[in-house]
Structure 1
Amino acid sequence: MAAVEIKEEREVGAKAGGEEEEQIVNPWEVSAKDGGKIDYDKLIDRFGCQRLDQSLVERVERLTSRPAHVFLRRGVFFAHRDFNDILDAYERGDKFYLYTGRGPSSEALHLGHLIPFMFTKYLQDAFKVPLVIQLTDDEKFLWKNLTIEESRRLARENAKDIIACGFDVSKTFIFSDFDYVGGAFYRNMVNVAKRVTYNQAVGIFGFTGEDHIGKVSFPPVQAVPSFPSSFPHLFSGKENLRCLIPCAIDQDPYFRMTRDVAPRIGYHKPALIESSFFPALQGENGKMSASDPNSAIYVTDSAKEIKTKVNRYAFSGGQDSVEKHRQLGANLEVDIPIKYLSFFLDDDVELEHIKKEYGAGRMLTGEVKQRLVEVLTELVERHRRARASVTDEVCILHYALFSIDVHVVN
């Protein structure tokens, strides 16, 4: 099975770099041919992951005795690898830990960056499990035009936004690669690196002869947080602990590689639960870009900036005139305000009412955008207040090298 997985990764990697490929999805680029939408069904088929179906959502609700998160109910997290095995183990009384991360390349997070952290908080609260959060400041130094000092500074700033999401400090460890990598973590990196050939790395990630060796050597750094022995101060004696990784599907190549290597060095394959991309304001043709401030709503945006961005840039599926809109209704499939409300409006009944009225032409674009402005302004203001309470002392607690509350992993 392991050999088959590597073979599939080579084929996917080779196709991803081709000029004729319909869509490119990897950790550094997401695009569809001629500006089209990402076809997630094709992505599932090519990557070899599984669709997250309603039976798994219902099982989560049963095991946690709480309603499924809106991101589960509405299919934002739509694919998985071995999530059912995580639930099987949990039902037997075996705990697991969560692992997610952030590559700090901008001063502030946009709403697309928040999604995995919002969902990870839900998972931590629902299953009452520990969490490690990796800040890949080394990756951003290797890929972006940043100094080491600037990469580290951005990691510290981004950490405050992450902490503001409200994780349980007694069960959460945040680390910067520049600060933490070494010891057992490094030993696991070398173990992984020795078992992935250069040709396999090229097939998985699409590296070329123009890429410096820093890029080629990075994947094991992102792989090994999925092994509990990388954190001896947290999980000493818990080397068989399973790992669940909530992430966007563009991170899948890292963990296909990891899953191939893990059994060969004595670890469980990490399980994944993967999300679709949060679309840019201008349309659903990939994921939001931190390099274009008008493509995204940032957690630092004021209420006025949010209103301006939504009204000016959010692509509408409404018709060209009120008369035509009343007659034909809106195209909900391309309407960005509806997409955003599907992410952030908690009330299922209200969302369905808006979709029904807008799709029938009884609700106008301006009304839908106004409701979205209200929802996003409340979300951003709530986050801003939470971030303001993140002091240096609070950051130190999340970075602290002490053992996570042991009863949560017994």
Structure 2
Amino acid sequence: MTTENAQVEEHVLNGVAEDEDVVTPWTVTSVNDSGIDYDKLIKRFGSSRIDDELLTRFEKITGKKPHRFLRRGIFFSHRDMHTILNLYEQGKLFYLYTGRGPSSDAMHLGHLIPFMFCKWLQEVFNVPLIIQLTDDEKAIWKNLNIEDAIKLAYANARDIIACGFNPEKTFIFSNLEHIGNNSAFYQNMIRIQKCVTFNQVKGIFGFGDSDPIAKIAFPPTQAAPAISGSFPFIFKDAKVHCLIPCAIDQDPYFRMTRDVTPRLGFPKPALLHATFFPALQGSKTKMSASDSNTAIFLTDTAKQIKNKINKHAFSGGQATVEEHRQLGGNCEVDISYQWLRFFLEDDERLEQIRKGYTSGEILTGELKKELIDVLQRLVAAHQEAKSRVTNEVIKQYMIPRDLDFKNKARARPEASQLGTASKSETNGTWCDGE
């Protein structure tokens, strides 16, 4: 067994100490008011921190200032990102892969973080993106019927497409619809299944004896898109490197994948790990699509956004105005500030807010108002973009097709042109990167 796979088995849910954070693909809880201890998580998972050296190299090679998610440590950890930069520097090819488990018809802001980032990466590197909708997973874990799970996948696809992905370089698919029509994908699932023992999958994911066998069989399905051979209509017979931006709780799937892919003759996928987008009530857990008061949903009105922030956003301020003026607020736990780190692009303005709130110059109500203004504009722009995503547009993205990978991926844009797509090119959406 490889070191990576052994590390997974060593830190399954059942083996985590009571005083440690719990991070699995299905459960995220923290013992600290400030949220997950990501330094400890890097050590537990055996990944590498995204440091200044990597960011400097990224900017030098791409000619693009790192995205705010990178600058601010929101994407904080990686596996083999230097390999991806080497490939790009050498003019060689790779592709992006991320996904979404559609558990509700309304996505919230936290769900969009990897898609915002993937859109920016797609523009910077000029590469294809594959988006897997794991409606099969949700049918298993949420006990949905197949038809309802597929409907949720299509509803979520509409929100994802509203981010403005290039349709000529983006393939989105529903597992429940696509796998039966793609023999190469299914064949790779079987190859992966043959490489992972029952004891290994129990150790990696913490499955119990009473879990349905569908859960045990699912991980190879999420692993298969990291193998370029699963998409012969895109990559032909090329064995292409894959880069996966995802939240850190998805890492167990891909540690398993990295153990298997070399045995199948394909390169290990590289990963970029994101921190969790905190719930309105605080950073101890991530948002929940099943509790509307923990999140801002992409269907919320401006009034709903204002009311949720004012009523539910956890404050790092003091009990009274006088105490706050004297002692200042705590940005580490204040949700309004933490959310601004995700969505406010202006670094100087964010630093002004941090200093003002910490010193007591800015009150909690003023900080919440700043966030409300940002989110109202953001969600309104997304809703406008989504209104233009018709059923025909969704079909365009979901038809298996040749993305002209080898020709277009080599046509690397000049550094001065990276990330400068016009509003018409990106559907005018708010998640068009910088």
Q: Same fold (TM over 0.5)?
A: yes
Indicate the SS of the match to 1:245: strand
What runs of 5+ residues in structure 1 fail to find an aligned partner? none
Q: Which amino acid aligns with 1:108?
A: A
| Counterpart-to-counterpart distance in 2, 1:148 and 1:214 | 13
Q: Which amino acid aligns with 1:229?
A: G
Matches within 5 A, 1:38-117: 38-117=36-115
Q: Deviations over 1:163-200 (max 9, x none)?
A: 00110100000000011114000110010000100100
| Counterpart-to-counterpart distance in 2, 1:18 and 1:73 | 31
Q: State whether residues 16 and 23 of structure 1, in contact with CA within 8 Å, keep that contact through their aligned partners in structure 2.
A: no
| Counterpart-to-counterpart distance in 1, 2:90 and 2:29 | 41
Structure 1 position 331, deviation (Å): 1.0
Q: 1:216 is matched with which residue? A: 216
| Counterpart-to-counterpart distance in 2, 1:212 and 1:16 | 18
Structure 1 position 54, deviation (Å): 1.4
Q: State whether residues 281 and 336 of structure 1, in contact with CA within 8 Å, keep that contact through their aligned partners in structure 2.
A: yes
Q: State whether residues 16 and 24 of structure 1, in contact with CA within 8 Å, keep that contact through their aligned partners in structure 2.
A: no
Q: Which amino acid aligns with 1:112?
A: G
Matches within 5 A, 1:153-302: 153-182=151-180, 183-238=183-238, 240-302=239-301
Q: State whether residues 135 and 175 of structure 1, in contact with CA within 8 Å, keep that contact through their aligned partners in structure 2.
A: yes
Q: Which runs of 4+ in 1 moved over 3 A?
A: 15-19, 33-36
Q: 1:12 is matched with which residue? A: 11
1:130 aligns with 2:128: yes
Q: 2:417 is matched with which residue? A: none
Structure 1 position 18, deviation (Å): 4.7
Structure 1 position 21, deviation (Å): 5.5
Indicate the SS of the match to 2:381: helix
| Counterpart-to-counterpart distance in 2, 1:299 and 1:170 | 25
Q: Deviations over 1:297-322 (max 9, x none)?
A: 01100000000000000011111111
Q: State whether residues 158 and 394 of structure 2, in contact with CA within 8 Å, keep that contact through their aligned partners in structure 1.
A: yes
Q: Which amino acid aligns with 2:221?
A: V
Deviates more, 1:57-66 or 1:326-335: 57-66
| Counterpart-to-counterpart distance in 1, 2:17 and 2:289 | 25
Q: State whether residues 129 and 171 of structure 1, in contact with CA within 8 Å, keep that contact through their aligned partners in structure 2.
A: yes
Q: Deviations over 1:223-270 (max 9, x none)?
A: 0100111001111032x2100000000000000000001101100000
Q: For the structure 1 residues 74 and 27, does the alpha-carbon distance in structure 2 shift closer, same or farther, using more than 3 Å as the test?
A: same
| Counterpart-to-counterpart distance in 2, 1:327 and 1:400 | 60
| Counterpart-to-counterpart distance in 1, 2:402 and 2:342 | 35
Indicate the SS of the match to 2:282: coil
Deviates more, 1:52-61 or 1:268-277: 52-61
Q: Which amino acid aligns with 1:331?
A: N
Structure 1 position 24, deviation (Å): 1.2
Q: For the structure 1 residues 58 and 176, does the alpha-carbon distance in structure 2 shift closer, same or farther, using more than 3 Å as the test?
A: same
Q: State whether residues 34 and 332 of structure 2, in contact with CA within 8 Å, keep that contact through their aligned partners in structure 1.
A: no
| Counterpart-to-counterpart distance in 2, 1:267 and 1:105 | 31
| Counterpart-to-counterpart distance in 2, 1:43 and 1:256 | 14
Tell me how many residue pairs correspond in the alignment: 407
| Counterpart-to-counterpart distance in 2, 1:354 and 1:20 | 36
Q: For the structure 1 residues 36 and 56, does the alpha-carbon distance in structure 2 shift closer, same or farther, using more than 3 Å as the test?
A: closer
1:371 aligns with 2:370: yes
Indicate the SS of the match to 1:286: strand
Q: Which amino acid aligns with 1:380?
A: V
TM-score (norm 1): 0.97
- 1:119 aligned residue (107, 117, 120): 117
| Counterpart-to-counterpart distance in 1, 2:376 and 2:219 | 37
Q: For the structure 1 residues 78 and 215, does the alpha-carbon distance in structure 2 shift closer, same or farther, using more than 3 Å as the test?
A: same
Indicate the SS of the match to 1:208: coil
Q: For the structure 1 residues 345 and 68, does the alpha-carbon distance in structure 2 shift closer, same or farther, using more than 3 Å as the test?
A: same
Indicate the SS of the match to 1:294: helix
Indicate the SS of the match to 1:244: strand
Q: Deviations over 1:33-68 (max 9, x none)?
A: 477721111111111111011121222222222221
Q: Which amino acid aligns with 1:195?
A: C
| Counterpart-to-counterpart distance in 2, 1:176 and 1:35 | 37
Q: 1:306 is matched with which residue? A: 305
Residue identity (%): 56
Q: 2:413 is matched with which residue? A: none
| Counterpart-to-counterpart distance in 2, 1:120 and 1:141 | 26
What runs of 5+ residues in structure 2 fail to find an aligned partner? 411-434
Q: State whether residues 311 and 369 of structure 1, in contact with CA within 8 Å, keep that contact through their aligned partners in structure 2.
A: yes
Indicate the SS of the match to 1:106: coil
| Counterpart-to-counterpart distance in 2, 1:63 and 1:5 | 29
Q: 1:359 is matched with which residue? A: 358
Q: Which amino acid aligns with 1:211?
A: D
Indicate the SS of the match to 2:130: strand
| Counterpart-to-counterpart distance in 2, 1:33 and 1:71 | 25
Q: State whether residues 108 and 158 of structure 1, in contact with CA within 8 Å, keep that contact through their aligned partners in structure 2.
A: yes
Q: 1:23 is matched with which residue? A: 21
Q: State whether residues 16 and 25 of structure 1, in contact with CA within 8 Å, keep that contact through their aligned partners in structure 2.
A: no
Structure 1 position 402, deviation (Å): 1.2
Q: State whether residues 317 and 331 of structure 1, in contact with CA within 8 Å, keep that contact through their aligned partners in structure 2.
A: yes
